[in-house]
Structure 1
Amino acid sequence: MAEVQAQLQSLSEEYTKLQQELQTVVQSRQKLEAQKQENSGVKAEFDRLKDGENIYKLVGPVLLKQDKVEAESTVNGRLEFIGKELERTEAQIKEIQDKIEKKKGDIIQIQAGLQAGGPQGAAAAKA
């Protein structure tokens, strides 16, 4: 019985760790989404610019004039990088969610075994 309780405790701790990991990855995805929105807004502003208009970049306390092609290239590069990071993060979220579901199933199976008749039920539920 103590062995089953220890196993249940271990699974519960792993489940909690996975939930915390998922929360961290979801927060990371939210930051990436915010960065994507910001850079998309900058790109939209570039599209509205007329030929010959100046672009300035804030570097510390100073505004420096920047070439439009270079600025657009930088923003497009950022958007591409953010897009790849979002894909990677989505895959990571799916993987963690799958692990959480498996742990949840394991926990439910052990709990059902305990309710079905103590250690014998737990062994039967595990088989």
Structure 2
Amino acid sequence: MSSSSTLRELQRDLENKANDLSKLQKDVAKNHQLRKKCTIQLGENELVLKELELLKEDANVYKLIGPILVKQDLAEARANVRKRIEYISAELKRLDAILQDLEDEQRSKQETVLKLQQRVQSLQAGKGKAQ
């Protein structure tokens, strides 16, 4: 196989790997956004729980359902908010695991792309010297 066909093949491979890396980077960015959204929701819910904990047992609590405020039992409201916090925390752990895997894969692909770029450059440099 000639060096020019090897070079073309390497360049094609490099282009494919670079496209894969680009898609992966978009996935990482999307997951960071999801994680940020969940973190904000968790903070809001923790704040609501703190406020509910300050209330006396006979306090009136209302829940917004669509355009209507519906009276809710304080204990039920606290339980609902705790459940929501549990759910969001579990979702954050899941997202963290996915993000870690994606970032590891991204690092691996970056190294592969870098090595391919170096091979292409060295082939091009060798070809340039031969001419």
Pairing of 1:34-53 with structure 2 (within 5 A): 34-53=40-59
Residue by residue over 1:17-72, the C-alpha shift from the partner in whole angstroms, topping out at 9 and shown as x without a partner, is: 00000011111001101110111111011111012111011112221110111111
Identity of matched residues, %: 34
Aligned to 1:17: 23
SS at match of 2:118: helix
Greater mean deviation of Cα atoms: 109-118 or 19-28: 109-118
**What are the ranges of 5 or more consecutive residues in structure 2 without an aligned counterpart?**
1-6, 127-131
TM normalised by structure 2 equals 0.87
**What are the ranges of 5 or more consecutive residues in structure 1 without an aligned counterpart?**
121-127
Equivalent residue for 1:99, pick from 93, 105, 116: 105
Pairing of 1:1-127 with structure 2 (within 5 A): 1-118=7-124
Supply the distance in 2 between the matched residues of 1:34 and 1:104 (Cα, whole angstroms).
31
Which is bigger in relative contact order (C-alpha 8 A, separation at least 6)? 2
Q: Does the CA-based 8 Å contact 2:41-2:88 persist in structure 1?
A: yes
SS at match of 2:69: strand
Q: Let me know the Cα RMSD of the aligned residues.
A: 1.2
TM normalised by structure 1 equals 0.89
